[in-house]
Structure 1
């Protein structure tokens, strides 16, 4: 297996999927205007050839229509070399950025660097969105991560680590790390508890038990013995290893097969049943195959959350491409990165001093968001909720309501803003409740906004009088505890390990996702009373740690609960494509809309959903697309073309070069990127 190629696979998957959907759109146009019978075509997926060969709508130009007549070599001569900012005081652009999460802040940082007038609207009163740390007090370590928390130091995360370095965030592996530094995150530590089937075990070295939680039929459970012997990690590795190898050895053929499977709405669960069922022979085959459902439930319970395996199989394959087995954003287990020593991350290449792969930001992940916001010359419009987007002639009209943060009782004030362009970085659920009737979206884009699936999540942080898990139970090196009870995952903090005995501490007492989160979140009482959820989690904590619940309750100082599915500013945890959604909508939602005036960004439009890098990549892609659209409109003015091309070159130099092992977005104006611009400019709903 070509290990260095592993780090580029997700990007190739993204570009391949987008290209296939662009080709389909262009084939529809060709059929409409040139009366070509699609039934006579050999196929609509041409992964192994340049995109302009099979679908060239303009036979006079061997490039994307609109850009085919541009002499880019001549344009480059007109653009001053180096990082100097092109200056045109007569250019009156104003870009509206919807959402002040990490993607919106990053977009603002880039636009500021390009000298493009813009403003960010943010519904809450803080920067960061799902990068959010709840601080119980100003005391160091007195917080928990409500949102994003992990930074895996692997090649695909290079843009994230470049941003952290840009913000002055370095690493500290000392015994007493400084605030605002990256520190190691540990998935496992001594005495981490596992409570399944009402049986409590810890990971402290002990004689190996074959079936510690009595899941097999022989021990009164319902899972076939051979799968428990195999182990859930090895089962997952077996499922995904063959696809990784095939993608490396025969990428285009394997991608065509994966997309075809996704069009049939294949889930991970159904694939596992088919995969292992094909190995079963003999007279009892039918019953054995029927029992494979129990195996999938067992693997899911040990490695993910309830109903996660009902997500699209292709989504899980994508999640597995950098790890020995898939990594969701929830830290349920340690997903070891595939050893890719020839393609190390930025930090490894520059420092050569560590073996750690996973990091957290000491003091809270929201430090990164706050530092970006502090560098913005134009601050976001906080407490400003967007209610509608319209494409009016050559402009974008955005309707908003703005609350008075000084007087919350005052009714929100309606506002209308006019922009030349709009970049939205909010989630699809939030977009779906805006008035987008006149936003200039295609049918496919409207469908994507309506149906793309988002995972649920609920987190609970509890502040205790002292770190009882470390002082009383010996869980003093972080890690996670796992259970099949409603809490599912407990996260022991990797920060504050140097705290003195008796000092207070904060525990992520519950990190729950999927159906488990929906059910636990459903215990919210009228008026937002969270006491029932707290009671459930406290009972689970006592059971998982063999601790008297009444005594444990006496140690509670305060708690904080956040249900991301019920957060009106997010309405979900992160995008996790349902069956059929990736092959159908991934390319549509990334395509510009409204005649090249509206651009949809956010982690849900990236091939890295659930990660900060997905939001960052999407913002870069949206801005690059915006400039390409402006370039196409400027074909009659060499002066305008040189100015815009200079901005594109600055964007690529400062924010594109070296940010990814391979870009997930094809920015070539005479490649797929150019065809995407052409499709929106031609005004056809394809």
Structure 2
């Protein structure tokens, strides 16, 4: 069988036909080490990790489709893969739109018909790096996007601002005077000295600066990935998984707590250093991948929605909207070889209709965020205690964005085109647009829509409590203090900004029923416990699979959703070869040829992981 072939499988996607580096070839042979640690501790005889007895579905089950829960990136990508394999499916989407956490908001009340009157509530920028190759393959090869679909993102602007302790400074000036790794002018008046007895940062740390201190912490860990197969480097990194960023800085780096809080305030989000160290290293690879040299970042011309719109146009069977999943259960009447999905359609504006009845599926691939899946009734399907615990424990990162439409891009008159401003005020981060067309009348180059506040963790929660709906009294209060923040940071009269104001839109991912958070954020030690359990199919006959960026090493990125969809289809074919519509064809070989290898998931080790799940479930059910 192809699955147990020890030679490298056919490469893809796109035009790549063989491993591009020795490291990639080595990853195919050695990548199983990450899952092997879990396997070795399981107590299951390795000889049992083989293909199970052949199953032939009876006539009443033979033509059941695969159920895909969710029409975000993972769900639509799953559908695209199944289309190429001629496997039928049905997509159930709880909301009235596709895209999931890709959400482009377009302002339509003012300046109607003018281009670039939008901002991204969700995914907004993509580095063209090694980790993101499946995303760019999707766009360039699968969706046929031309180069004019990609707009380069300006990640840094020297005139953008740092504003802390009530003091504003241009980022380039601050970099030279304070954050240079040598001496500090103490622009923000926080150093402990004879002149400033109320300061709290010792001079030696102040002189080095937060950029250097933060890099000194993460850079050695990022360098694990240089010249080493990704999965081997990841396993080495996991040795530090017991640490939060804060504990690692305190215990390993020896930084005082006051310095750690200072680095967090300047470089990350309030409370962010309580998260997993390894999580932060993986996240930082997207910004500082040591294997990529000065990568370009891109956004999409017309918004990230053109990606999910393109995926929607490609899939053979379109999503069924307003089908909020309320229950998933195995069907004992069919020896648990089929799965029933119960839905609630009360939010469907079309009213009551026959599609409220439960759906019956051969397998179910859930791309629902785990926070949402936690609110689905799973009493009727077998989950291991590890899977139940993972669903309960995994935390999702709160995040908000507030976009404001102005008459003109007034910040450009300050020399700010693209880049971001950082502050300790409530707005925390302001993101200036890198997309747009010149407006000769206003003398500006890019869009007049700015993300006035982009927050996460505690910073976002303090804004989210005001998000009660567009133009509600609470959101008017919210808008007022965000405008005050913009005025203070940019050192402008707030009345001047109100003269420029047209409209706003606020979005809270944590408060949304269908997301309940922006992306997964693991605590110390949690990834090693969660990942092996949720990458195993659930159910007595292994017919429920978990997808989504949370069950990936690339949390919070579209590529994590795509990689997880790849894994689920792969594992479903391993567990259920009877899905092959053409028994004369090697469907796994076809899948690998068309959709390539996964950097995260070695196909041979992945197959054994599925078999391990089957044996563990047998043992657990025998003990029940």
Q: 3-state DSSP class of the match of 1:116?
A: coil
What residue is the counterpart of 2:542 in the other structure?
A: 596
The Cα shift of 1:221 comes to 2.2
- Establish whether residue 488 from structure 1 lines up as the match of residue 488 from structure 2: no
What residue is the counterpart of 1:149 in the other structure?
A: 124
What residue is the counterpart of 2:46 in the other structure?
A: 56
The Cα shift of 1:24 comes to 2.2
What residue is the counterpart of 1:66 in the other structure?
A: 51
Change (3 A) 1:666 1:246: closer
Asked if the contact 1:463/1:507 (under 8 Å) is kept, the reply is: yes
The Cα shift of 1:243 comes to 2.7
Q: Deviations over 1:320-364 (max 9, x none)?
A: 4x3xxxx5xxxxxxx3442546xxxxxxxxxxxxx7511111110
2:189 alignment partner, one of 214, 236, 239: 214
What residue is the counterpart of 1:18 in the other structure?
A: 35
Q: Deviations over 1:608-652 (max 9, x none)?
A: 111100000000100111111113x79xxxxx7972862212111
Asked if the contact 1:591/1:680 (under 8 Å) is kept, the reply is: no
**Which segments of 5 or more consecutive residues in structure 1 lack a partner in the other structure?**
30-54, 59-63, 71-87, 173-180, 278-288, 328-334, 342-354, 635-639
The Cα shift of 1:513 comes to 0.6
Q: Distance in 1 between matches of 2:374 and 2:610?
A: 28
Task: After superposing the two structures, state which structure 1 stretch, 670-679 or 529-538, moved more.
Answer: 670-679
Q: Deviations over 1:236-294 (max 9, x none)?
A: 222223334456689999867754543xx4211011011232xxxxxxxxxxx6xx111
Q: Distance in 1 between matches of 2:23 and 2:438?
A: 37
Q: Distance in 2 between matches of 1:650 and 1:568?
A: 38
What residue is the counterpart of 1:379 in the other structure?
A: 318
Q: Distance in 1 between matches of 2:406 and 2:85?
A: 47
Q: 3-state DSSP class of the match of 2:396?
A: coil
Asked if the contact 1:7/1:156 (under 8 Å) is kept, the reply is: no
Asked if the contact 1:14/1:607 (under 8 Å) is kept, the reply is: no
TM-score by length of 2: 0.84
Change (3 A) 1:150 1:89: farther
Q: Distance in 2 between matches of 1:188 and 1:314?
A: 26
Change (3 A) 1:680 1:150: farther
What residue is the counterpart of 2:63 in the other structure?
A: 92
Q: Distance in 1 between matches of 2:523 and 2:24?
A: 24
1:648 alignment partner, one of 559, 582, 588: 588
Task: After superposing the two structures, state which structure 1 stretch, 601-610 or 133-142, moved more.
Answer: 133-142
Change (3 A) 1:380 1:318: same
Q: 3-state DSSP class of the match of 1:160?
A: helix
Asked if the contact 2:67/2:361 (under 8 Å) is kept, the reply is: yes
Matches within 5 A, 1:514-553: 514-524=457-467, 529-553=474-498
Q: 3-state DSSP class of the match of 2:63?
A: coil
Q: Distance in 2 between matches of 1:544 and 1:11?
A: 50
Change (3 A) 1:614 1:260: same
TM-score by length of 1: 0.77
Asked if the contact 2:324/2:345 (under 8 Å) is kept, the reply is: yes
1:507 alignment partner, one of 442, 450, 454: 450
Q: 3-state DSSP class of the match of 1:213?
A: coil
- Establish whether residue 272 from structure 1 lines up as the match of residue 249 from structure 2: yes
What residue is the counterpart of 2:507 in the other structure?
A: 562
The Cα shift of 1:7 comes to 8.5
Change (3 A) 1:10 1:193: farther
What residue is the counterpart of 2:303 in the other structure?
A: 364
What residue is the counterpart of 1:189 in the other structure?
A: 157
1:305 alignment partner, one of 269, 293, 305: 269
Asked if the contact 2:32/2:605 (under 8 Å) is kept, the reply is: no
1:171 alignment partner, one of 147, 150, 172: 147
What residue is the counterpart of 2:15 in the other structure?
A: none
What residue is the counterpart of 2:396 in the other structure?
A: 454
1:611 alignment partner, one of 543, 554, 557: 557
Change (3 A) 1:256 1:611: closer
Q: Distance in 2 between matches of 1:486 and 1:537?
A: 7
Asked if the contact 1:150/1:359 (under 8 Å) is kept, the reply is: yes
The Cα shift of 1:319 comes to 2.7
Change (3 A) 1:245 1:142: closer
Q: Distance in 1 between matches of 2:606 and 2:482?
A: 56
**Which segments of 5 or more consecutive residues in structure 2 lack a partner in the other structure?**
1-19, 179-183
The Cα shift of 1:91 comes to 4.8
Q: Distance in 2 between matches of 1:12 and 1:608?
A: 22
* Number of residues of Structure 1 aligned to a counterpart in Structure 2: 573
Q: 3-state DSSP class of the match of 2:98?
A: coil
Give the CA RMSD over aligned residues.
3.3
- Establish whether residue 127 from structure 1 lines up as the match of residue 98 from structure 2: yes
What residue is the counterpart of 1:573 in the other structure?
A: 518
Q: 3-state DSSP class of the match of 2:426?
A: coil
- Establish whether residue 622 from structure 1 lines up as the match of residue 607 from structure 2: no
Q: 3-state DSSP class of the match of 2:506?
A: strand
Q: Distance in 2 between matches of 1:506 and 1:217?
A: 40
